[in-house]
Amino acid sequence: GAVVSQHPSWVICKSGTSVKIECRSLDFQATTMFWYRQFPKQSLMLMATSNEGSKATYEQGVEKDKFLINHASLTLSTLTVTSAHPEDSSFYICSAGLAVGLLLDNQYFGPGTRLTLL
């Protein structure tokens, strides 16, 4: 149980393109989803927290107009990297929070999306 999928798993595109990444919780409802960015050999950096039906909360230094997050349903959140450039190349990982009662307990991570901009 508690499976999270991401699509696509990898994408290569030209600079200036906008790229959408989907994150789905397959067997549970996730009121809260998180988006992370990970550079090679580094830890996960939280970009934003999204709650179903409301605007995402972005971490300091993350451009909200650059990284658009939509959490339209309890099982789907999307991250759109707008007008992506080579410096946006990274490994993007989402996670979904599994609530136990009223508490947000474990986070379950998707397999990640490797984004490469040419």
Partner 1 sequence: QQQVKQSPQSLIVQKGGIPIINCAYENTAFDYFPWYQQFPGKGPALLIAIRPDVSEKKEGRFTISFNKSAKQFSLHIMDSQPGDSATYFCAAKNFGNEKLTFGTGTRLTIIP
Residues that bind partner 1 (CB under 8 A): 4, 6, 32, 34, 41-44, 46, 49, 91, 93, 95, 97, 103-112, 114
Amino acid present at 19: V
Residue indicated by tokens 């990274």: 90
Rounded CA separation 118/101 (Å): 45
Q: Closer to partner 1 by CB, 88 or 97: give it.
A: 97
User: How many distinct helices (H) and strands (E) make up the chain?
Assistant: 0, 11
The candidate with the shortest Cα–Cα distance to 115, out of 25, 23, 38, is: 38
Q: How far is the CB of 99 from partner 1 (least distance, A)?
A: 10
Q: How far is the CB of 109 from partner 1 (least distance, A)?
A: 4
Q: How far is the CB of 107 from partner 1 (least distance, A)?
A: 6
Q: How many CB atoms lie within 10 A of CB 105?
A: 9
Residue 38 forms beta bridges with which residues?
A: 44, 91
Q: Closer to partner 1 by CB, 14 or 41: give it.
A: 41
Q: How far is the CB of 10 from partner 1 (least distance, A)?
A: 9
